[in-house]
Chain A
Amino acid sequence: MFAFIVRRIIQAIIVMLVISLVGFSIQHQIGDPIRDLVGERVTPAEREAIRDQLGLNDPFYVQYVRFVKNACKGDLGLSFFYKKPALEVIAAKAPATIELVIVTALILIVISIPAGIYSAIYPKSWFSRIVMAFSTIGVAIPVFLTAIALIYLFGVELNWLPSYGRGETVNLWGWESGFFTWDGLKHLVLPSVSLSSIMLPLFIRLVRAEMMEVLETEYIKFAWAKGLHRERVWYIHAFKNTLLPVITVFGVQLGILFAFTILTETVFQWQGMGFMFLEAVERSDTSLLVAYLVVVGVIFVVVNTIVDIVYGFVNPMVRIAGTK
Chain B
Amino acid sequence: MKSWNRFKNSYLFYSFKRDPVAIFSFSALSVLVIISILAPVVAPYNTYDMATIDIMDAETPPAWMEGGSESFILGTDIQGRDLLSTMIYGLRVSLLIGVGAVLLQAVVGILVGLLSGYLGGKLDAFLMRIADIQFSIPYLIVAIFTSAIFKLAFGVGRYAELAVPLLIIIIGMSEWPKYARTVRASVLGEKNKEYVEAARVIGINRWQIMYRHVLPNTLTPVLVISTIQVAEAVMSEAALSFLGLGMPITKPSLGALIRAGFEYIFSGSWWITFFPGVLLAFLILVILLLGDWLRDVFNPKLYKG
CA A26 to CA B147, docked complex, whole Å: 13
CA A297 to CA B133, docked complex, whole Å: 11
Q: Does B273 contact A (CB under 8 A)?
A: yes
Contact call B152/A262, Cβ cutoff below 8 A: no
Contact call A141/B152, Cβ cutoff below 8 A: no
Given A284-B152, A300-B136: A144 touches B288 (CB 8 Å cut-off): no
A254 to chain B, nearest CB (A): 11
Which of B145, B149, B242 is in CB contact (< 8 Å) with A144?
A: B242
CA A286 to CA B152, docked complex, whole Å: 8
CA A234 to CA B213, docked complex, whole Å: 50
Contact call B281/A255, Cβ cutoff below 8 A: no
Contact call B149/A156, Cβ cutoff below 8 A: no
Interface SS, B side? helix
A residues in contact with B268, CB < 8 Å? 156
Chain B: residues with Cβ within 8 Å of the partner, total of: 38
Smallest CB-CB separation from B266: which chain A residue? A156
A residues in contact with B136, CB < 8 Å? 15, 300-301, 304
Q: Does B277 contact A (CB under 8 A)?
A: yes
Given A281-B245, A284-B152, A296-B141: A148 touches B265 (CB 8 Å cut-off): yes
Given A137-B285, A145-B277: A263 touches B242 (CB 8 Å cut-off): yes
CA A263 to CA B145, docked complex, whole Å: 13
A residues in contact with B149, CB < 8 Å? 26, 30, 289
A24 to chain B, nearest CB (A): 13
B residues in contact with A260, CB < 8 Å? 140
Q: Does A140 contact B (CB under 8 A)?
A: yes
Q: Does A222 contact B (CB under 8 A)?
A: no
A5 to chain B, nearest CB (A): 17
CA A296 to CA B268, docked complex, whole Å: 38
CA A97 to CA B270, docked complex, whole Å: 29
CA A282 to CA B151, docked complex, whole Å: 9
Chain A: residues with Cβ within 8 Å of the partner, total of: 42
CA A139 to CA B289, docked complex, whole Å: 11
A25 to chain B, nearest CB (A): 10
Given A145-B258, A259-B138, A260-B140: A266 touches B243 (CB 8 Å cut-off): yes
B259-294 CB mask vs A (1 if < 8 Å, else 0) is 000100110101001000100111011001100000
CA A107 to CA B265, docked complex, whole Å: 27
Q: Does A243 contact B (CB under 8 A)?
A: no
Q: Does A171 contact B (CB under 8 A)?
A: no
Q: Does A98 contact B (CB under 8 A)?
A: no
Q: Does B202 contact A (CB under 8 A)?
A: no
Interface pairs (11), CB distance under 8 Å: A15-B133, A30-B153, A140-B281, A142-B281, A145-B281, A148-B258, A152-B270, A156-B266, A259-B141, A281-B151, A289-B149
19 A-B pairs besides A140-B282, A144-B258, A151-B265 with CB distance below 8 A are A15-B136, A30-B153, A136-B285, A136-B289, A140-B288, A141-B284, A142-B235, A144-B242, A145-B277, A148-B258, A148-B265, A152-B270, A259-B138, A263-B239, A266-B243, A277-B148, A289-B148, A296-B141, A300-B137
